[in-house]
Amino acid sequence: MVKVNEHYARVGNNYLFSEVARRVREYKATRVGGRNVISLGIGDVTREIAPAVIAAIQEATLEMASPETMRGYPPEAGYDFLVNAILEHDFRARGVTLDADEIFISDGAKSDTGNIGDILGTDNLVAITDPAYPVYVDTNLMAGRQIELLPCLPENDFCPPFPARPADVIYLCCPNNPTGTTLSREQLKSWVDYAIEHRSLILFDAAYEAFVSGTDVPRSIYELEGAKRVAIEFRSFSKTAGFTGLRCAYTIVPRELVVAASTGETVSLNAMWRRHQSTKFNGTAYIIQRGAAAVYTPEGQRQTREIISYYMQNARIIKEGLERAGMTVHGGIHAPYLWVKTPAVLSSWEFFDLLLNEVQVVGTPGSGFGKAGEGFFRFTAFGKRAEVVEAVERVGSLF
């Protein structure tokens, strides 16, 4: 008789965004002919994909039309042309040396941050920041692991406190979704030192590294001494270059990352992840990897940087506008997210309803990202400029 994975009962319904959509639908149905609703809620890009990427995808598509140049299954860990471009531009140029066999090209950081648990025991104690990208908590609940939440609040500068019990696995996301805040070099170094001391593993989500400006905030955990011994890093072309619909990401598993198994033998996480990917994954499409490689050409760099600076200009408009209205705004400097304290003593959902009903602006209730998100609200900078400007004016008119 079939048995289900009963741990799935521990995860709630995918409530947050469906509840947002339900309330917006209900509002629209009852206010026919009312003002348009502007959304600063979505965590998805809205700008077009860079022309250099589109050209590379078109060219690669045509290669598939001829028997001399067509490609079948791609190498499981990615084509050399993409891996080498990543090594050169994302790491060597910034003083980090990695080898080609430490990079694993994939179809998304969501699946990689979720699937990495396959190579880790279910008896690990997992520390996760609160609030957080929901994948971390949900996938660990599904696997039956114990979780300790690390509240990130203005009081601790959104830097997670060390867990009460030594954690075996630690998720860090910097720049952070949903708070839009970052960890300084010293703060991140203290986590690397913690992991070395406790022989823990850091799962570092750097999906928003391309939004970092200046050199104070590390773009890779490997910029810190010792990190190759304790950290796996996840990156994605989704927010960097608008690949949310194209799907391409990569994960770095350094060869130095070895773990003592219960037998006393040392086990290489790099070898285990390679085994995982070659068993459960059949590679990212050639056409899409060609598109990703084009991000690293001079035109690709110029075009994708222009799009990121457009989003970051939106972030500045939201931050300055809301602060002018007297609100307390966190994040938005190195990330396309703004984390706003709800005014008065409104809960996250009460503030959601107020904005929707009074000024027809939609954002995301902070409580949907974890208990420590209660009393906060997330705005994203991925909107169209005119709508962003109008939404900020509308919210400001409430105060």
Ligand X SMILES: *Cc1c(COP(=O)(O)O)cnc(C)c1O
Residues in touch with ligand X (CB under 6 A): 43, 108-110, 133, 173, 177, 205, 207, 236, 238-239, 244, 249
Q: Which residue in 175, 183, 148, 144 sits closest to 162, CA to CA?
A: 148
Q: Please, which residue, 60 or 109, has the CB nearer to ligand X?
A: 109
Find tokens 């805040």 and name the residue.
181
Q: Please, which residue, 77 or 395, has the CB nearer to ligand X?
A: 77
73-109: burial string, b at 16+ Cβ within 10 Å, e else: ebebbbbeebbbbbbeebbeeeebebeeebbbbbbbb
Minimum distance of ligand X from residue 211's CB (angstroms): 11
Q: Look up residue 268 and give its two tokens.
A: 């290489």
Minimum distance of ligand X from residue 264's CB (angstroms): 35
Q: Which residue in 162, 164, 163, 128 sits closest to 145, CA to CA?
A: 128
Minimum distance of ligand X from residue 113's CB (angstroms): 6
Q: Please, which residue, 44 or 101, has the CB nearer to ligand X?
A: 44
Minimum distance of ligand X from residue 234's CB (angstroms): 7
Minimum distance of ligand X from residue 82's CB (angstroms): 15
Q: Please, which residue, 129 or 360, has the CB nearer to ligand X?
A: 129
Q: Please, which residue, 250 or 351, has the CB nearer to ligand X?
A: 250
**Nearest residue to ligand X, by Cβ distance, number only:** 108
Q: CA 370, CA 152: separation in Å to the nearest integer?
A: 10
Name the packing angle between helices 51-63 and 298-324 (round to 10°): 140
Minimum distance of ligand X from residue 207's CB (angstroms): 4
Report CA torsion sign: 223, 179, 244, 280: positive
Q: Please, which residue, 241 or 257, has the CB nearer to ligand X?
A: 241
